[in-house]
Amino acid sequence: MFENADLSLVDWSRAQFALTAIYHWLFVPLTLGLSFIVAIMESIYVKTGIEEWKRITRFWMTLFGINFAIGVATGIILEFEFGTNWSNYSWFVGDIFGAPLAIEGILAFFLESTFVAVMFFGWNKVGKKFHLLSSWLVAIGANLSALWILVANAWMQNPVGMVFNPDTARNEMISFWDVLFNEVAISKFLHTISSGFLLASMFVLGISAYYLLKRREILLARRSILISGIFGFLSSLLVIYTGDSSAKALAKAQPVKFAAFEALYEGRQNAGLVAAGILRESDKKIGNTAVNDFAFRIEIPGFLSIMTSGKRDAFVPGIHDLVNGNQSRGIMPVSEKIDRGTKVRKMLEEYKTARKNNDYGKAEMLAAMFRDKKFNEENFRYFGYSFLKSPDEAIPDVKVAFYTFHLMVMLGFLFILEFLIAVYFLFRGTLEKQKWFLWVALCSILLPYVAGELGWVLAEMGRQPWIIQDLMPVSAAVSQISSGSVITTFVLFAVLFTLLLIAEVSIMIRQIKTGPKH
Amino acid sequence: MNRLISPFVRIFRFYYDGFSSMSWWGRRVWVIIIIKLFIIFMVLKIFFFPDFLHRKYKTDKQKSEYVLEQLTKSK
């Protein structure tokens, strides 16, 4: 794909980034959701003045604190990796990433750090209302921090609001609002934080179920299940709603990824949504890439068309249409995109030569082309395709995309059911007797983590070969360093993060076994 | 003068009291945070994660020329 790209280097760099991102995401969603649950509980305490609510709030705040502290700065490592392993990419996007990440840093530092101290040290030292305000500001601050990271990530999925400057070899932001209100960013942010709310609700539900099974802390457990059941149920609905809008945004911005979710090879009207299925490799191929078909599937007729545009008769393009083109539907083949990308690359070479030869007139003329809106829309947006050797390289791993998507969705529906059952038994007053359900709730604590990680695997592997959709493939983004050094740091991270995880889990289990002290 | 110093003293006392009366888990996670930050910033960043372009090139112009070269390499 890329002349000097050492595949093992690319693969190890990707594996390292995946490892650190997956570990980082073990800590983040609980912070996002538990901060809100704690703030809700404290609001009830301040409103009612009932001391038991204060005790409940302080107990969950302790678990929030452990998770928050262990997770602090694990995301910084991802930024280190950008500079070391992905230097071409970092330089190429530097100006776009700079603003959101700087805002994230300032917000995280001032809002979270300041008010986290009030949350933990401020009991009985500051007024009740100021303490409550601090808890809410920590929750809002943590979630706003996530916004900026997700805005940066969404730009990689759908690059907008920038222009490429050949003189600096960087993309420069021309519209902060286009970057911020990027359709993918909004839906990704809401989908991600609501999945964090869901995860935290399941965490609270599961630990409360543990107390009920042990016949201790009954009041704390019942009240915590009430909050987590309702909050979790509402969050689950938000996850579905935002997942749907996320899918709509992807269908426009990343249609190949969208088709891969559903293993849809031949586009059609009235396209059905596969509720469940098993893929098998067929004899057919697109280029050198094998086509998968279904050994078994359950399909909801017309639902995929409705999901993408709200109309049952809407045409949903398949992978075949998107790679080979479909003239009647106005879909450009990848071969044409490769030609256009190659044309841009030749222009960049000419620009480089003109600058070297001090031919300022020609250099300025070419630079002006890169600033031209029409040129950007018709040509530069396909720059990344110039690195592809054949059109089928634009196809992601369909099996990974299909299974991660469907497993994630199935788990999502399981969570809704669990929250509903919890609230139902609670209101009937029979929750403590439903041992089977309490065990299910306890064992389900890990499942939202699995769903969240599947979501990220889907988002990141589903957009392959791109690091920036259509503009830069991963092979062109990687630094020319030795794969040995990447392997060394991969092992170091695996050890460091595993130790952190063991530390968190052991401190948390000890605190849960101890229970609320206050 | 006392009025000016007073808020700072109160903030200092707030943090001082908070840290000195910290619970078992609080002390434990602070130890972990300090060790973790030391490893991340003093070991990983310095010895394993130098900025690739910054280490190779001094000026932005050199960096942009290098990246442009990388982006225009023939297939």
A window 75-94, beta carbon within 8 A of B: 76-77, 80-81, 83-85, 87-88, 90-92
| Tally of domains within chain B | 1
| Tally of domains within chain A | 2
CB contact under 8 A, B52 and A87: yes
- Which tens digits make up the pLDDT trace of A100-132? 777 777 777 677 778 888 888 888 888 999 999
Instruction: Check residue A153 and give left, alpha or beta (phi > 0: left; psi -120 to 50: alpha).
Output: alpha
Q: What confidence tier does B3 reach under pLDDT thresholds 50, 70, 90?
A: low
Q: What confidence tier does A405 reach under pLDDT thresholds 50, 70, 90?
A: very high
DSSP codes of every residue in A183-241: HHHHHHHHHHHHHHHHHHHHHHHHHHHHHHHTT-SHHHHHHHHHHHHHHHHHHHHHHHH
Q: Is residue A206 a part of any domain in this protein?
A: no
Nearest residue of chain A to residue B21 (CA atoms)? A121
- Residue A178's domain comprises 7-199+449-514
In the predicted model, is pLDDT for residue A1 greater than 50? no
CB contact under 8 A, A66 and B30: no
Taking the C-alpha atoms of residue A47 and residue A74, their distance in angstroms, rounded to an integer, is: 36
Q: What dihedral angle (degrees, nearest 10) is formed by the CA atoms of A321, A323, A324, A329?
A: 40
- Which tens digits make up the pLDDT trace of A310-320? 888 889 999 99
In the predicted model, is pLDDT for residue A456 greater than 80? yes
Across residues A455-484, what is the average pLDDT? 90
Q: Is residue A234 a part of any domain in this protein?
A: no
Residue A170: beta bridge partners?
A: A165
CB contact under 8 A, A83 and B32: no
The mean of the pLDDT values for chain A is 90
Q: Is residue A23 a part of any domain in this protein?
A: yes
Q: Is residue A93 a part of any domain in this protein?
A: yes
Taking the C-alpha atoms of residue A220 and residue A225, their distance in angstroms, rounded to an integer, is: 8
In the predicted model, is pLDDT for residue A7 greater than 80? no
Q: Which residues of B touch A485 (CB under 8 A)?
A: 48
- Residue B44's domain comprises 2-72
Taking the C-alpha atoms of residue B75 and residue B72, their distance in angstroms, rounded to an integer, is: 9
What is the DSSP secondary structure assignment for residue A113, as one 8-state letter? I
- Which tens digits make up the pLDDT trace of A268-320? 999 999 999 999 988 888 888 888 999 999 999 988 998 888 888 889 999 99
Range ranked top by mean pLDDT from A29-33, A123-127, A364-368: A29-33
What is the DSSP secondary structure assignment for residue A168, as one 8-state letter? T
Q: What confidence tier does B4 reach under pLDDT thresholds 50, 70, 90?
A: low
Q: Is residue A115 a part of any domain in this protein?
A: yes
DSSP H or E run through A325: none
Residues A194 and A293 in one domain: no
pLDDT for the residue numbered A427 = 92
Q: Is A386 in CB contact (< 8 Å) with chain B? A: yes
The gap between the terminal CA atoms of chain A, to the nearest Å, is 61
- For residue B19, the one-letter residue type is F
pLDDT for the residue numbered B6 = 80
Taking the C-alpha atoms of residue A178 and residue A161, their distance in angstroms, rounded to an integer, is: 5
Taking the C-alpha atoms of residue A227 and residue A268, their distance in angstroms, rounded to an integer, is: 44
pLDDT for the residue numbered A344 = 93
Q: Give the contacts of A67 (CB within 8 A, at least 6 positions apart).
A: A27, A30, A31, A34, A504, A508
Taking the C-alpha atoms of residue A143 and residue B53, their distance in angstroms, rounded to an integer, is: 32
- Picking from A80, A352, A511, the nearest residue to B25 by CB comes out as A511
Q: Which of A335, A365, A396 is the last residue of a domain?
A: A396
User: How many percent of chain A have pLDDT more than 70?
Assistant: 98
Q: Which of A360, A380, A396 is the last residue of a domain?
A: A396
Q: Tokens for B8, please give them.
A: 């700072």
- Picking from B29, B53, B72, the nearest residue to A91 by CB comes out as B53
- Picking from B29, B53, B71, the nearest residue to A348 by CB comes out as B71
The counts of H helices and E strands in chain A are 20, 8
The gap between the terminal CA atoms of chain B, to the nearest Å, is 71
Q: Which residues of A touch B62 (CB under 8 A)?
A: none
DSSP H or E run through A163: strand A162-165
User: How many percent of chain B have pLDDT more than 90?
Assistant: 0
Q: Is residue A28 a part of any domain in this protein?
A: yes
- Which tens digits make up the pLDDT trace of A41-73? 999 999 999 999 999 999 999 999 998 888 877
The dihedral sign for the CA sequence B60, A74, A97, A160: positive
Pairing of strands A472-473, A466-468: antiparallel
Q: Which of A373, A396, A419 is the last residue of a domain?
A: A396
Taking the C-alpha atoms of residue A448 and residue A195, their distance in angstroms, rounded to an integer, is: 8
Taking the C-alpha atoms of residue A318 and residue A333, their distance in angstroms, rounded to an integer, is: 12
- Per the CB < 8 A criterion, the answer to whether A201 and A234 are in contact is no
Test mutation, B23, B36, B60, chain A, max A CBs within 10 A: B36
pTM above 0.95, yes or no: no
